Copies of this chain bind each other. A is one copy, B any other.
Amino acid sequence: MTENGLRYFDDYLPGATYDCGSVSVDQAGIVSFAREFDPQPFHVDPEAAASGPYGGLIASGWHTAVLMMRQLVEHYVSAEASLGSPGLDEIRWPYPVRPGDTLRVRATVIEARRSLSKPDRGIVRTMAEAVNQDDRPVMRATAINFFRVRPVPGA
């Protein structure tokens, strides 16, 4: 069960919003992630980035995404109930993430329905959002998760 009391599909109620804590990013972390997975000049090379389209180094959007995911796994996705994810819709990075930023993550349940084909589970759609220390949105996405329904006692 998460510290927010989320344990089974049945606990994810549309409209509920959960604070998923915050995470900070520094230049070394931005560069090392991007060298491995997204080695574009404005993610890996501070000098090239300074004269580039963002006027400085910015984090790969994928880096922002996985930092957000870590917060969601720790605060929102019940380990007991999680059956994985078929994907996400509409990932957006409205504002860049820069070295020194602190991102606060929150998750809002937007839809929860029982699976028609697999009665042991439900499908939850979540608006996941991250804002920086100035409250500017740096990422949002609609996540889709499969969660086990609460077991029926004695079943």
Residues of A within 8 A of B (CB): 36-42, 53-54, 58, 60-62, 65-67, 69-70, 73, 77, 79, 82-94, 96, 141
Contacts and interface: CB of A to CB of B under 8 A. Distances in A.
Given A37-B66, A37-B67, A70-B37, A86 B92 contact: yes
Contacts of A65: 62, 65
Contact of A40 (B53, B66, B82): B82
Contacts of A60: 69
The quantity of this chain's copies bound in the complex is 2
A70 B63 CA distance: 12
Contact of A91 (B38, B53, B82, B88): B88
Given A65-B62, A87-B61, A70 B40 contact: no
A56 B92 CA distance: 32
Nearest to A58: B84
Nearest to A139: B87
8 contacts: A36-B66, A38-B73, A39-B73, A61-B85, A84-B96, A86-B94, A89-B89, A91-B91
Nearest to A35: B70
Contacts of A70: 36-39
A45 B143 CA distance: 23
A58 B69 CA distance: 16
A93 B87 contact: yes
A113 to B, nearest CB: 18
